[in-house]
Amino acid sequence: MSEHSTNTETTGGEPTRRDFLYLTTGMAGAVGAASVAWPFIDQMRPDASTLALASIEVDVSSLEPGMSLTAKWRGKPIFIRNRTPKEIDEAKNAPIADLKDPNARNANLAADAEATDVARSAGEGKENWIVMIGSCTHLGCVPLGTAGEYGGWFCPCHGSVYDTAGRIRKGPAPMNLFIPQYSFTSDKVIKIG
């Protein structure tokens, strides 16, 4: 046999003490590296003040029908609109078959919920309220409110047009504007997140 043969060749394929030592040394090195790296990884977690911003409360008492406001949540614009009866009727009368994206995209509902007007709004009895993440689903631009062919939102960057329920109707955007997890804590305060 050659003097450069491995230990497993001399023992007929059975592991030797040297193989065991290589394995345990490697494992000890991996554990040591992980214990040294953990403090650096752990410091990258968000601190308590950041976690506190995981949800916000927005006072909407000043929003009359037809008015909207933009809040900021987790670095994203949030569109909150108190829709007029006309805007609600226009959104209700849009056939689901005419929509580019038939999915509600509402974090408060099942993932497969249809994009009806009620599924896009705050629900029964609060159909006038709509709360959405204000980022165009095409490239993340911020659409302009009460603009476009359907009176909802219009993204001037590439021409995406959303209706008064935030559903994509024309343009390159593939999906409806997303609706975050939210709830009314009172008649005039919305908790987002």
Which pLDDT does position 116 carry in this prediction?
94
Residues 106 and 174 placed together within one structural domain of the fold: yes
Tell me the residue type at 64: E
Residues 34 and 108 placed together within one structural domain of the fold: no
Identify any residues that bridge with 56 across adjacent strands, giving them in sequence order: 192
Residues 38 and 101 placed together within one structural domain of the fold: no
Q: CA–CA distance from 166 to each of 17, 97, 101, 134, 144 (Å)?
A: 68, 16, 11, 9, 12
Which pLDDT does position 29 carry in this prediction?
85
Cα 109–Cα 110–Cα 112 angle in degrees, nearest 5: 125
* Domain interval for residue 105: 51-192
Determine, yes or no, domain membership for 2: no
Residues 93 and 177 placed together within one structural domain of the fold: yes
Mapped onto helix, strand or coil, the DSSP state of residue 69 is: strand
Q: What is the C-alpha radius of gyration for the chain, rounded to an integer number of angstroms?
A: 28
Residues 122 and 164 placed together within one structural domain of the fold: yes
Residue of 18, 72, 158, 188 with catalytic role:
158
Q: CA–CA distance from 141 to each of 69, 155, 178 (Å)?
A: 17, 7, 13
Q: Residue 159 in contact with residue 170, Cβ under 8 Å? A: yes
Q: CA–CA distance from 183 to each of 1, 55, 61, 178, 188 (Å)?
A: 77, 11, 15, 15, 11
Residues 140 and 100 placed together within one structural domain of the fold: yes
Which pLDDT does position 1 carry in this prediction?
47
Which pLDDT does position 26 carry in this prediction?
87
Residues 24 and 115 placed together within one structural domain of the fold: no
Q: Which two tokens stand for residue 122?
A: 């705050």
Residues 71 and 18 placed together within one structural domain of the fold: no
Residues 68 and 31 placed together within one structural domain of the fold: no
Which pLDDT does position 12 carry in this prediction?
64
The DSSP element (H or E) to which 92 belongs, if any, is: helix 85-92
Residues 125 and 84 placed together within one structural domain of the fold: yes
Determine, yes or no, domain membership for 118: yes
Determine, yes or no, domain membership for 1: no
Mean pLDDT in each 10-residue stretch from start to end of the chain (193 residues)?
51 78 88 83 71 82 94 92 94 92 94 94 91 92 90 92 94 95 92 92
Other beta carbons within 10 Å of 138: 18
Active site residue 4: no
The pTM of this model reads 0.71
Residues 185 and 167 placed together within one structural domain of the fold: yes
Q: CA–CA distance from 96 to each of 32, 107, 151 (Å)?
A: 58, 19, 18
Residues 21 and 84 placed together within one structural domain of the fold: no
Instruction: Specify the CATH number for the domain of residue 93.
Output: 2.102.10.10
Determine, yes or no, domain membership for 32: yes
How many domains are contained in the chain? 2
Determine, yes or no, domain membership for 158: yes
Determine, yes or no, domain membership for 123: yes
Which pLDDT does position 52 carry in this prediction?
56
Determine, yes or no, domain membership for 87: yes
Determine, yes or no, domain membership for 86: yes
